[in-house]
Structure 1
Amino acid sequence: MDEAERTRRAQAGRRAAEELAARGVSAVAVTWVDTSGVTRVKAVPSSRLEHAAAWGVGMSPAFDFCMVDDSILKGRFAAGPVGDLRMHPDADRLAVLAALPGWAWAPADRYGLDGERHPHDGRGLARRAVERLAADGYGVRASFEIEWALSAGHGDEFVPACSGPAYGMTRLMEQADYLRDVLDAVTASGVAVDQIHPEYASGQYEISVAASDPVAAADTVVLVRETIRAVSHRHGLRATFAPMVLADGVGNGAHVHISLWRDGLNLMAGGDGRYGLTQPGESFAAGVLSRLPALLAIGAPSAASYLRLIPFHWAGAFACWGWENREAALRLVTGAAGDGARAANFEIKSFDGAANPYLVMAGVLAAGHAGLGEKAVLPEPVDVNPAKLGPEHGIAALPSSLEEAVRALESDDALEEALGEAMVRTICLVRRGEAALFDGAGEEEVVARTRWIH
């Protein structure tokens, strides 16, 4: 970080601190998301925000090697107990937390003591992926669907907080005050909400937010999830974004919607290709589709992820694409007639709520960028449930375990080049560590041990 950037951050921190003081906000939660998808935090008094923005807050780099049980792995790029990082709150992205009176939130950019960006900083990697696309004239709009299950149980027991049918008005009525408070708190924190509704699984709801640039989209996932968690707690309820909540359920997805843009035009619409795709839009999507097995090591990072990623659950268990096909891993959404230029996008259905959203954005953008360079072409679209097609159709199932996904990531040169060797090797180390952690555990045990981690 050069002196000019440090000065800019200090000035932004000073302005934000003055605004927080005027609003009676005492403290700022500074968060980052680790390799296992756990959101971790340090907090500073609002009066210290200027200093923290410029000089950072100390944090051990060992947390990049934490598993979901908080044990710390040893590896080639692990620092162990030695060393320090500086977490710089991004005051430009600061939000007052309506669900936690007196608190604000800011995502952290992580740097080493030498002022260089930390190689495991997912937010920085996502920003670098955006910059690489911009250098070629492209922009991206992205958003995450945020699903969560709500429990009225005691302790770690999961008792659905609503009992009505999937998508039923009964579920909304049962938790109308709660859902209104979620909506009000998220909106008051500066997030543009598109919709909120009951979902399919037991006790499950979903909120969808407006598309934005990829780094902001990842920031928004963290902000919205922690707001939901706080509102749930105040209502005497407990929220979980875990991939699986009940072993015989369908789990929580974290579907990514993404579109490629150039010169103000959405390249997922208005072209001569299938369903109106342009050639760059198709190549970007083809790059993502071809690398989905490797991307699962990032977007489906839990042992529980592979209990969710099965056919007939609309989880995208097959490496194929299709127009509005909810069983395909890549679903093309064209929008209503006349709205495609604004709304057309690809939805990646295979990812879940255990994923680090910054690493997801970095990986997906890197895959799409590689597809652009390769002028990749999508295979034939699938217009039926791919699980019903025989092997002669050549549609492969996505990895069914962490180990399969890790091997795919290890062999993908484009992703390693984009994310860096240190990040890729660390992801693989943590994934294999967690696979070993749950080795021999039955489905019920896996779900019980991961239910409240995310």
Structure 2
Amino acid sequence: MGHLHDDVIRTVSDRDVRFIRLWFCDIAGTLKSIAISPADLENAFAEGIGIDGSTIEGLTRSYESDMLLRPDPATFELLAWRGDTNATGRMMCDVLTPDGEPAASDPRRVLKDTLARAEEKGLEFSTHPEIEFYLFEEPYEPSQPLRPIDHAGYFDHVHRGQGQDFRRAAIQHLEAMNIQVEYSHHENGPGQNEIDLRYADALTTADNIVTLRTVVKEVALSMNQVATFMPKPMIDQPGSGMHTHLSLFQGGKNAFHEPGAEYGLSRLGRQFIAGLLRHAPEYVAVTNQWVNSYKRLWGAQEAPSYICWGHNNRSALVRVPFHKPTKGTSSRVEFRGLDSSANPYLAFAVLLSAGLAGIEGEYELPEGAEDAVWDLTERERRAMGIEPLPTDLFRALEGFEGSELMASTLGEQVFEFFLRDKRQEWERYREQVTLYELRSTFSRV
């Protein structure tokens, strides 16, 4: 075994760790976990731990139930909320077939493969997410109105506010797990908060997002609150997105930066954005995978509804933020479409793949849109060549289904399961009779 394996085994012994949780995700991005004892660690590293993959959404075909979990020793951390006595560790895992090959259905494998494609071109992909979520008072009852923990707004300082206490506790746990937080603050909605993670390579960031969502939910429960990353939990309040800054580095230098260019953006950076725009109708089902996602995208509250880019335009799907001319590493692209509830492994894979397609195909970047796209008329948008994003999951799946880029990026098994699973979600939603329909129609007909 390598030195990282030895370091984990030594730490487990020195810190009196009693359990090690092996974490992995299904295709929807839901965290799965099994616990092993320290005695099983060496075998986990050498051979993997067997699981029944047929019980986990999308991980296997019906006739391929046996799978292995192989922990990644570089991700070992102690779960801060479990305390130091009888401590619990965790590692992110790769899912393998019984013969030790990477499982085609593992979302982490999908991202690793896409990153490897970029690395063949000498490119390294880094991301910096701004993760929004809501905190509500317990108990949560779906049939009752949601009760936000406060009624504050954007950047508000709430004296003795529960949100401040929450963010402090959550950030302490994250940093104890070596996840570096850049900012945190109250967001626009009542009880809505945001935690921004520092730049890291995309695989580390995806692992960190999965961990952050777990930490947020654990801390909320400990404070008699409930946290949700649902895209649009309240009809009259802002949705929760995950605006993510994307960067490519080549030979240690920012490949998006070109001194003296408009916005400091290189030709490669412009091609990358063009790829994000052209392929948006194909990948939006992945970056916005829920029926509820489209309530956020078409909610008219700083969420992007149209396929365009800009500089100071916060209604754009892609924004090129201000950069310091003296700081070449600050050139980046902000993708504003992502939900906080997306599967980060698949989402980063499809965004990188779309950007690489723009680079490989030398796509031309259309004119930017600096006006608030929401305020334009449909005729004005058409004249500018600005197309709408899909308005619902059904239309998003139509674009996804016909996409060779998505099929090749995700692989046949993930592509087919995702399409089938999301069609079922849409069909279940379509069958519902909602409270709105009863209120608007029952007494009129």
Using the size of structure 2 for normalisation, the TM-score is 0.90
1:430 equivalent in structure 2: 421
Q: Does 1:393 align with 2:389?
A: no
Provide Cα deviations, 1:196-234, integer angstroms capped at 9, x if missing partner: 110112211111111111101100101111112111121
Q: Does 1:159 align with 2:151?
A: no
The correspondence for 1:85, drawn from 67, 76, 94, is 67
> Structure 1 vs Structure 2: percent identity of aligned residues?
26
Provide Cα deviations, 1:387-443, integer angstroms capped at 9, x if missing partner: 222332221110111121112122221232232122211211111111112113367
The correspondence for 2:107, drawn from 122, 144, 154, is 122
Q: Secondary structure at the match of 1:148?
A: strand
5+ residue gaps, structure 1, are 1-6, 67-76, 446-454
In the alignment, the residues of structure 2 paired with residue 234 and residue 80 of structure 1 have an alpha-carbon distance, to the nearest angstrom, of 38
Q: Does 1:212 align with 2:212?
A: no
1:292 positional shift: 1.3
In the alignment, the residues of structure 2 paired with residue 209 and residue 307 of structure 1 have an alpha-carbon distance, to the nearest angstrom, of 26
Q: Secondary structure at the match of 2:4?
A: helix
Q: Does 1:180 align with 2:150?
A: no
1:18 positional shift: 2.2
* Corresponding letter in the other structure for 1:347: E
In the alignment, the residues of structure 2 paired with residue 41 and residue 436 of structure 1 have an alpha-carbon distance, to the nearest angstrom, of 30
Aligned runs of 1:269-284 on 2, under 5 Å?
Answer: 269-271=257-259, 273-284=261-272
Q: Does 1:286 align with 2:251?
A: no
Residue-pair matches, total:
427
Higher relative contact order (CA 8 A, sep 6+): 1
1:228 equivalent in structure 2: 216
Q: Secondary structure at the match of 1:107?
A: strand
1:414 equivalent in structure 2: 405
Q: Does 1:197 align with 2:200?
A: no
Q: Is the 8 A contact 1:318 1:395 kept in 2?
A: yes
Q: Secondary structure at the match of 2:46?
A: helix
1:112 positional shift: 0.5
Provide Cα deviations, 1:93-117, integer angstroms capped at 9, x if missing partner: 1111112222222111011002111
In the alignment, the residues of structure 2 paired with residue 24 and residue 277 of structure 1 have an alpha-carbon distance, to the nearest angstrom, of 51
Q: Secondary structure at the match of 2:256?
A: coil
Q: Is the 8 A contact 1:151 1:159 kept in 2?
A: yes
2:97 equivalent in structure 1: 112
RMSD across aligned positions (CA): 2.2
Q: Which moved more, 1:314-323 or 1:433-442?
A: 433-442
1:37 equivalent in structure 2: 29
Provide Cα deviations, 1:313-366, integer angstroms capped at 9, x if missing partner: 111111000013211011111334533x12221111111122110011111111
* Corresponding letter in the other structure for 1:357: P
In the alignment, the residues of structure 2 paired with residue 174 and residue 112 of structure 1 have an alpha-carbon distance, to the nearest angstrom, of 45
1:38 positional shift: 1.5
Q: Is the 8 A contact 1:13 1:51 kept in 2?
A: no
Q: Is the 8 A contact 2:60 2:105 kept in 1?
A: no
Q: Secondary structure at the match of 2:419?
A: helix
* Corresponding letter in the other structure for 1:100: R
* Corresponding letter in the other structure for 2:28: S
2:53 equivalent in structure 1: 61
Q: Secondary structure at the match of 1:170?
A: coil
1:60 positional shift: 3.0
In the alignment, the residues of structure 2 paired with residue 249 and residue 294 of structure 1 have an alpha-carbon distance, to the nearest angstrom, of 28
Distance 1:206 1:212, change over 3 A: same
5+ residue gaps, structure 2, are 437-445
In the alignment, the residues of structure 2 paired with residue 418 and residue 171 of structure 1 have an alpha-carbon distance, to the nearest angstrom, of 48
Q: Does 1:377 align with 2:364?
A: yes
Q: Secondary structure at the match of 2:95?
A: strand
In the alignment, the residues of structure 1 paired with residue 27 and residue 55 of structure 2 have an alpha-carbon distance, to the nearest angstrom, of 8
Q: Which has the larger radius of gyration?
A: 2
In the alignment, the residues of structure 2 paired with residue 444 and residue 368 of structure 1 have an alpha-carbon distance, to the nearest angstrom, of 41
Provide Cα deviations, 1:266-316, integer angstroms capped at 9, x if missing partner: 122225643221111111121122111211111100111011111521111
Q: Which moved more, 1:358-367 or 1:165-174?
A: 165-174
* Corresponding letter in the other structure for 2:402: S
In the alignment, the residues of structure 1 paired with residue 134 and residue 368 of structure 2 have an alpha-carbon distance, to the nearest angstrom, of 32
